[in-house]
Each structure stands twice: as C-alpha cells, then as structure tokens.
C-alpha cells in the first residue's frame, strides 16, 4: 500500500488524493515526533511561568479578555469543541473528510501547535482505520478558520459526535471502540489547536484543483473533437501564433490540440476553408480555444500554487515557537488566500463551461455546423418527429447559466462575528464549495459536448480523425452507442461524465 508521510513541509495535492480517495496509509516520521514533543514542552513551561496565552488560559473571540483559572483549563478546551460544533446541512463527502483530517494532522506535524504527540497519533489512526467523522457542510465563515467543521471532526476524536465506520453511521464513541482507538482527553490548548485553521476550505480546494487539471485536459480533447466535427480551421493552433503571445497556458493548449488532431483528414487550412466553406477562419468558440482554455490553465496553476503553500502551513492560533520559547497570537487562520484562489478557479471553470456550451450550440444548428443535420438527428429518423440531441444543449445552457451565478466571488463578502471582534472574514469555504459545484457542472457540460461531437463524427467518418481524437471517440463509443433514434439521454450523459471525471479520456487520448 502507498504510504504518505506527514512532516508539515512536503505534502502534495497528489498525496491528498491518495489518502482521501485511495485510502493510502499515513505515517508520522520520527523527526516530527521529536518536534511535537519539544513544542509541547515549551508550551507547558510557558504556562507554568504564568504567562497569559490566548485560548489557553483566556476565553475565545470577544471573550479573550476573560482570564481562566487553572482548574478550568482542560474544561475550556472541551467546551470550545462542543460549543463550536454548530454546523448544519448535508454531511461532507468521505473524500473531503479524509482530506480535512490529513491536512489537520499535517499542520500539527509542523510543530507550532503545542499538542501532545498522542493527539496527533490518534487522528492518524482514525485515518488509517477508516473512522470518518460526520461533518456538516455549512457553518464556516473562514475565520478563525473552519471552526465548526473542524470541531465536528474533533468531537469524534474525543468520543462524541457521529462517525461513519465501515459503511455504517454510528456514535463517535462506538466507531472509535470498534476501530480499537482510544478517544483523546483534551489537555491545555489542544481544543483550539485542533479547530482553528483552514483545513476544510483547503481540503475542498486541493481536490478541486486536482480535478480541474484533469477537466481542462478533457476540455481540450473535447474541443479538438468538435473542431474536426465542424471541419475546423487548423491555422489558429499554429505554434507561431502562440509564440508571439507567450502565455504558458495558451501555448500548452494549442500544443495539445495539435497533437490530438495530428493525422486528421477533417481539419483544414484557412485557404481550404475559404474555397470550400467560403470563410477563412472559424468562430471564436473554435478559433480562440487556446486563448480561452489556456487562460483557464493559468488560473488553475495559480490556484495550485496557493493550495500547495496552504496545505503545508501552520494555520492555527496561537502558535508556539520552540526555538524562541515563545507563543504568539496572529491571524494565520484567515482563509483569504484560499478564498481568492477558489473564486478565481471557479470563474475559470465557468468560462470553460461557457465556451463548451457555445460549441455544442454550433454542432446543433444546421446553419452553423457545415453540413451536419439539425440537432444531429439520425438520417433514418424523421426530422420533427425526432428531436435528436436538441435538448442536451438545453441542459448545457442551464448548467452554464447556473455557473454564472455561482461565479460571483465569495472573497469580496464579509460578515462580522463574535460581537464584531472577528470583524472581517474570508468566506473561504463558500468559495471552495462554489468552485467545486462549478467544476461538477462543467464536467457535465464537457460530457455533453463529447456526446454531441461523437455523434457528429458519425457523419464525417471516424476513420478520418486525428490520432488522439480517435482514441477519445472510441472511449465514448465504448460507453454510449450511436444515436439512431430518440432515446432517454440523461443516462448517456452520466456515462460520459464518469469518463470525464475519472480521467479516462485524458489517459487514452493524451498519453
């Protein structure tokens, strides 16, 4: 089994996917164990000296001016977790929960949180044995981090709340008992070290970035197949054009499409198009594919860089600095970097869906599709009696329109909490969740384009396709048969969407 080491420094998005979706084993290196012990020792010494430390011997938020007597310090941490377990809505998916737990463990492994080693070990044991807290999806404003979701995670750690174990939902205490894990009794500072940070927004962000990278490649493959179905002009993808506007994403997209249609007998030069179709170049939804999808590529790359920094950061508060033997209170829990990046990513993915829907429309419209039948109605079916693929464009239009609403940025919003003490928040979870929904909507739109492009190719001849696009076409045909008469289409869309989501289209076409 693949192992993922957590050291607070080197975790990757690929590691997160392996743990979240493939149940890879999580391991704590010996150097981390030493680091954790040292951090805890420094914290305990500061407390013994009587130093006032926020959230350790004071109240929280607007109650930070209240000093807590020593006999209540442990109860303070338990009460924090219980009182902040105020999330609502549907539970998070298992992959997001596992990613969240891994990220919480990784930030503790940095050695700035002051927790005991056994607390970190218990979280890792929960991951490795498959104890998954039931965490409501709503309730975080993204500062002081993802308090409610993380508190629901910690409830199970201390033997409370609810969890999923081996496919069954049960009490947290029962799940821990069945898995053979001893619940943690929180000590000084451990509650605030566990529920203060950006792990939910970062978990969703990491998985979304991974899936977005797969989606943008799939969108390029789909665009190439549509280019051939519409007898598109090849000139726009020439390397010389990209070199004089050297955006990295644009060059990559153009290069990929050139490779995909290599050997195609369907694409043509501008001179050929002028002679046969009486226009020297295509509509923007085809001609500007490198510029549009390339810009989305660059946005995804930016999001990856932000997420990679965040998943290896100390984001709780206060932070213990062992070398200096001090504890400082700051704002690393604030989710603005993730919020902004996820809004940007969501906008980019909405754009990918928008241009895909425009290509779908061209495939449907007999005035624009260069000789294909209206709505790609099969020749053996009667036009009017049969509607062909007409209404799949409606679905794509609905999804694209929903994406436009979801693309409104969350990061520019803020609503004060804790009696205006926490007066500027990030809405990072909202941004990440919106990006995730836009991603899924766009996966469906691209799947619909694949369905339509493959049907259009039936009229052009699959044997004329390029090397890469032919493989994509064949992958679609393995899942969905040629449309010969009207049938229920939602099942076809779902089958192709599973191809898009799994990365199978990319695997067979670009590799």
Residues designated as active site = 54
Q: How far apart are CA 215 and CA 323, in angstroms?
A: 44
Tell me the CB-side half-sphere exposure of residue 396, using CA atoms within 13 A.
31
Name every residue whose Cβ is closer than 8 Å to that of residue 229 and which is 6 or more positions away in sequence: 266, 363, 369, 372, 453, 456, 457, 460
- Burial code of 213-239, b = ≥16 C-beta within 10 A, e = fewer? bbbbbbbbbbbbbbbbbbbbbbbbbee
- Cite the DSSP H helix spans in 85-236: 94-109, 117-129, 147-157, 172-179, 190-195, 199-229
Q: Which residues pair with 168 in a beta bridge?
A: 165
What is the C-alpha R_g of the chain? Answer: 26
> Ramachandran region of residue 432, left (φ > 0), alpha (ψ -120 to 50) or beta?
alpha
> What is the token pair recorded at 311?
């998943």
In the DSSP assignment, the letter for residue 329 is -
Residues 6+ apart with CB under 8 A from 179: 125, 126, 129, 130, 131, 165
Task: Report the alpha-carbon distance of residue 108 to residue 32 in Å, rounded.
Answer: 9
- The angle at the Cα of 381, spanning 375 to 385, to the nearest 5 degrees, equals 75
Helix or strand (DSSP H, E) at 271: helix 270-277
| DSSP character at residue 374 | G
Q: Is the CA virtual torsion 327, 60, 87, 74 positive or negative? A: positive
- Distance, CA of 66 to CA of 137 (rounded, Å): 31
Kind plus residue range of the DSSP H or E element containing 88: strand 88-91
DSSP H or E segment with residue 396: helix 390-406
**If you ran DSSP here, which 8-state letter would residue 233 be given?**
B
Partners of 326 in beta bridges: 321
Residue pair 435/342 in contact by the 8 Å Cβ criterion: yes
Instruction: Tell me phi and psi for residue 135, to 5 degrees.
Output: -120, 115
CA distances from 294 to 40, 226, 235, 298, 352 (A): 47, 17, 17, 6, 10
How far apart CA 281 and CA 88 sit, in angstroms, is 53
């Amino acid at each position: 089994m693949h192992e993922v080491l957590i050291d607070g420094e080197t975790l990757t998005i690929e590691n997160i996917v392996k743990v979240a979706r493939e149940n890879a084993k999580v391991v704590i290196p010996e150097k981390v164990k030493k680091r954790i012990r040292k951090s805890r020792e420094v914290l305990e010494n500061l407390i013994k000296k009587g130093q006032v430390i926020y959230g350790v011997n004071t109240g929280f938020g607007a109650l930070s001016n209240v000093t807590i007597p020593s006999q209540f310090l442990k109860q303070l941490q338990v009460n924090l977790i219980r009182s902040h377990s105020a999330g609502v809505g549907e539970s998070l998916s298992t992959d997001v929960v596992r990613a969240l737990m891994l990220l919480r463990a990784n930030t503790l492994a940095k050695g700035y949180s002051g927790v005991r080693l056994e607390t970190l070990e218990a979280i890792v044991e929960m991951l490795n044995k498959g104890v998954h807290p039931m965490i409501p999806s709503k309730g975080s404003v993204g500062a002081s981090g993802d308090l409610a979701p993380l508190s629901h995670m910690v409830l199970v750690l201390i033997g409370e709340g609810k969890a999923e174990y081996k496919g069954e939902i049960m009490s947290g205490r029962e799940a821990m008992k069945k898995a053979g894990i001893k619940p943690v009794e929180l000590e000084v500072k451990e509650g605030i070290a566990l529920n203060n940070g950006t792990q939910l927004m970062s978990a969703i962000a990491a998985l979304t970035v991974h899936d977005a990278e797969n989606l943008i490649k799939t969108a390029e493959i789909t665009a190439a197949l549509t280019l051939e179905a519409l007898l598109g002009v090849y000139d726009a993808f020439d390397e010389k054009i990209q070199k004089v506007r050297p955006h990295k994403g644009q060059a990559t997209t153009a290069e990929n499409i050139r490779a995909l249609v290599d050997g195609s007998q369907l694409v043509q030069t501008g001179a050929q198009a002028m002679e046969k179709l009486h226009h020297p170049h295509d509509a923007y939804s085809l001609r500007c594919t490198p510029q549009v999808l390339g810009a989305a590529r660059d946005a995804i790359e930016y999001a990856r860089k932000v997420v990679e920094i965040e998943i290896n950061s100390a984001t709780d508060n206060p932070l213990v600095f062992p070398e200096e033997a001090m504890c400082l209170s700051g704002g690393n829990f604030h989710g603005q970097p993730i919020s902004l990046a996820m809004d940007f990513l969501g906008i980019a993915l909405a754009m990918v869906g928008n241009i895909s829907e425009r290509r779908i429309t061209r495939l449907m419209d007999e005035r624009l599709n260069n000789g294909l039948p209206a709505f790609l109605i099969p020749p053996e079916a009667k036009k009017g009696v049969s509607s062909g693929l007409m209404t799949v464009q409606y679905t794509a239009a609905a999804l694209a329109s929903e994406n436009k609403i979801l693309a409104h940025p969350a990061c520019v919003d803020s609503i004060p909490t804790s009696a205006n003490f926490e007066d500027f928040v990030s809405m990072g979870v909202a941004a990440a969740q919106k990006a995730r929904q836009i991603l899924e909507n766009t996966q469906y739109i691209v799947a619909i384009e694949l369905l339509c492009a493959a049907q259009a190719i039936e009229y052009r001849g699959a044997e004329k396709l390029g090397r890469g696009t032919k493989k994509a076409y064949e992958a679609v045909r393995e899942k969905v048969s040629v449309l010969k008469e009207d049938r229920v289409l939602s099942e076809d869309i779902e089958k192709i969407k599973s191809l898009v989501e799994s990365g199978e289209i990319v695997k067979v076409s670009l590799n």
